[in-house]
Amino acid sequence: MRATLIQLRVDDTEDAAARRRRAADLVRARAGDDLVVLPEGWAAGAWNHATWPRDAEPLDGPTARAMSGAARDAAVWLHAGTIVERAPDGTLYNTALVFGPDGGLRAHYRKIHRYGFDTGEAALMGAGERVVTVPTGSGPIGLATCYDLRFPELFRALLDAGARFLVVPAAWPAGRLEHLRLFVRTRAVEEQCFVLACVAVGEHGGVRQAGHSMVVDPWGTVLAEAGEDEEVLTAVIDPSEVDRIRSELPVLRDRVLGIAAPRR
């Protein structure tokens, strides 16, 4: 399986339409890959809170149409990062889109854990409620986004849903880069899955992005890691490693479920 993370630069000098064209061209250039991934919120700007109402779009909006065409032209599975989705009832969501090699929208995932505490995403967006996996020829992909990395319960749910690969687009602040590295490797070891984290670079909304997109195997080994500039990062993944490592170190069979909290 050949997987590519497009570590896209997102800044305040380029509008959404221009970024869509550039991202589509970068995806089309990946013909021959199996899976291509883009970062979180790259079209609207994941930290440009003030412009979200203007740039929000439906699931079949301009970003989805551009990414559908690019996936079809390249004949790849495309995790197109996330958009600011405006649902039919007007609620905004941070929503991931996954397209098949035919350009069809195969899945969407509304981010469950919203960052910002009482501001930003947490205040302006609705919370997703569904755990989402996508069946592919290489195995099921589990979907999570950025801040979700801090919540292991979601990743256990994705594991239980059959995920063998975990794809995490992010717009992670540069000041917390070491947290990102720690969480990506931890989730890989914890779930004995491949984790592919695609992180934006540049600065928008006053927040500098961390970059350092990475592909980590189920043993926790970093197979590939990007730097701090826009970059196309490719890794060759052997899906059979999931079974080999789970067999070699069968910790998942020793899980004890339903542990009750002690009475106080």
Residue numbers annotated as active site: 40, 111, 146
Rounded distance between C-alpha atoms, residue 17 and residue 74, angstroms: 20
Phi-psi region of 258 (alpha: psi -120 to 50; beta: other; left: phi over 0): left
Neighbouring residues of 178: CB distance < 8 A, sequence distance ≥ 6:
none
Torsion of CA 169, 35, 109, 122, to 10 degrees: 10
d(CA 194, CA 217): 5
Residue 95 CA, chain-centre distance (Å), reads 10
Return the exposure string of 127-136: e unless at least 16 CB atoms fall within 10 Å of the residue's CB, then b: ebeebbbbeb
CB 108 within 8 Å of CB 128: no
Quickly tell me which residue has 């687009």 as its tokens: 169
**Exposed, middle or buried, 70 (CB in 10 Å: 0-12/13-18/19+)?**
buried
- Gap between the Cα atoms of 12 and 244, Å rounded: 45
CA 85 to chain centre: 15
Closest C-alpha to 165, from 223, 113, 111: 223
